[in-house]
Amino acid sequence: MMMKLTPQSTPGDEFSRRAIWNRIRTAAVEAGEGALRELPSTMRLLRTLLLVLTITVPAFLAGVLVVLWHFAH
């Protein structure tokens, strides 16, 4: 005969569903706050990257055009 095992936990149990849910929620809140703290520095880095790309990509393309123009003539 097979016995059906059912998990039983008490409210004071360290591994109760409520305790686990609270730990997960706390970890999610801390991770969210950490991401929000990093947002200003990330935005500064992205702004710098865009500035560099807007200067270097057209300069590179102009250089490629000059080289191709010299090869054509």
* Tens digits of residue pLDDT in 33-55: 988 888 888 899 999 999 999 99
Reference 17, options 6, 9, 29, 25; nearest CA is: 9
pLDDT > 90: percent of the chain: 51
Do 60 and 53 form a contact (C-beta atoms < 8 A)? no
Annotated domain spans of the chain: 16-73
Using pLDDT thresholds of 50, 70 and 90, give the confidence band for residue 62. very high
pTM of the complete model: 0.49
Asked whether the predicted pLDDT for residue 71 surpasses 60, the reply is yes
